[in-house]
Structure 1
């Protein structure tokens, strides 16, 4: 599994078993990481395009 894939079956299993949602091994950690990385990448792209003007 690469950085862009999220194991939804594992996350669903963790949710059903009552494990933590967030934190290092939380069920939603991979999804949150992907969202944050995408947001930061968008900010960097916008910042760099403003510098080029």
Structure 2
């Protein structure tokens, strides 16, 4: 998946303007995209950012 799309997905997943169910769906899809791309560092950073926002 192109990095520009991943960046847009990350912004949407973090936005309060997006309804919670959709944010959750986007967050799961984003984590899966990082995993599928074997980008462990980006996946780790993303999961850390999620934990900071809980």
TM-score of the two chains, using structure 2 as the length reference: 0.37
In terms of fraction of residues, the more helix-rich structure is: 2
- Of structures 1 and 2, the one scoring higher in RCO (CA 8 A, sep 6+) is 2
TM-score of the two chains, using structure 1 as the length reference: 0.38
> Which has more radius of gyration?
1
